[in-house]
Structure 1
Amino acid sequence: MGRFSLYCRKVMVLGCLLVPVMARAELTVIHDSGHTQSIAPFLDVFESTEGMPKQNPIPIPIKSSLGAADPKAWLPIQSTGLTPGPVLARAHDRPFTRPFFLIGSDARSLQWLQAHRDRLKEIGAVGMLVQAETMDDLRTIARLADGLSILPASGSDIAKALSVSHYPVLISPHGIEQ
């Protein structure tokens, strides 16, 4: 009986030690119902919102029976407050661990992506497609990405938090540049 009791205690201690490790596992999205929510509440860490009214997220209607699995349901991709244009390089003190970039389907973004694709791959940057109107726009970006991860998403909240109003732009752990 003593051995069994000792064994049970060891298993319980090991289980208690593993629970925090499992809780830190990365999130994997298995299903997206199409009811996208704003990330603004999670950006409170980066900016003070005292005195500002809270905005309720606007549900996005599902456009097909496939929901988020249907690329047509993503369109149009729009990011309020973001337009194509020049970006002045500057430092920031945000705790980003992985570089990412915001890009649209406009001519400036397409040229930028072609010119910087190798460097973006080298540094492991992940892209956010913040503007696209048609399936042809999505196909063009996918072709030019040539192996880069680029996800369709609104960049409005992150751009607001970083005081960015133009794209294409690269945000690395140390700075913002074009």
Structure 2
Amino acid sequence: MVRMIAALLTSMLLVHQVQAQGAAPTVLHDSGRSVPFSPLVAQLVAGDEAESVLQGLSFPFGTSLQPKVLERDGVQVLDPTWLTQPLAIVAAEDLSMRWLQFNRDTLLQLGAVVLVVQAQNAQGFKQLQELVQPIGIAPEVSPWLAERLHAAGAGVYPVLVHTDGRAYQVLFQISAGEVQ
């Protein structure tokens, strides 16, 4: 299992490195409903196996999202048919760390995965990993998610995208399986 995860992550990171060098990936098929691979990886990678995430990941990595307050909770950002579980979108910085500490139990109850959109170094990524264990965590280095959030007027982090496709920062109103 660990070898399979390491192979998947290595492939994903090689694609990222090629993209970072300016080469565009070859699209074999795009139904228009394609989604990033990161949430799936976050489900597979947890605990000690997460060390393989850091092998080959280039630091720093960043995002166009900003550490700000979401102007309106509940804004639709993603197609809910894409989501099998909530996504917590964070960065390896102070605001996200405090938000994760405050909301960790809710995220755990919801079965969320954590996507890290920005980290200056491996130590920052590891701090997030330790803070959220046993919640799955993965780097999100593609611009796809940030583009969707910006297009919906929600270009901020930290934020939770619930299975209804809506973005929230205030999680006390959310319980497992439903938004109140």
| TM-score, scaled relative to structure 1 | 0.61
Aligned ranges 1:1-150 → 2 under 5 Å: 29=5, 31=7, 32-33=10-11, 34-37=13-16, 44-45=32-33, 69=52, 71=54, 73-87=56-70, 88-92=72-76, 94=79, 95=81, 96-150=83-137
Match of 2:168 in 1: 177
* Aligned residue-pair number: 129
Larger RCO, structure (CA 8 Å, separation 6 or more): 2
8 Å CA contact retained: 1:103, 1:127: yes
CA distance 1:115–1:155, shift in 2 (3 Å): farther
CA distance 1:142–1:70, shift in 2 (3 Å): closer
8 Å CA contact retained: 1:75, 1:133: no
Report the AA paired with residue 107 of structure 1: D
CA distance 1:143–1:157, shift in 2 (3 Å): same
Larger Rg: 1
CA distance 1:45–1:168, shift in 2 (3 Å): same
DSSP 3-state at the match of 1:35: helix
Using the alignment, how far apart are the partners of 1:111 and 1:45 within structure 2? Answer: 34
| TM-score, scaled relative to structure 2 | 0.61
1:168 aligns with 2:147: no
Could you tell me the percent identity over the aligned residues? Answer: 22
DSSP 3-state at the match of 1:69: helix
CA distance 1:77–1:43, shift in 2 (3 Å): farther
Q: How many Å apart are 1:36 and its aligned residue?
A: 2.2
DSSP 3-state at the match of 1:144: helix
CA distance 1:75–1:83, shift in 2 (3 Å): farther
8 Å CA contact retained: 1:99, 1:173: yes
Match of 2:41 in 1: none
Q: Which runs of 5+ in 1 are unaligned?
A: 1-27, 47-67
Q: Which runs of 5+ in 2 are unaligned?
A: 20-24, 35-50, 170-180
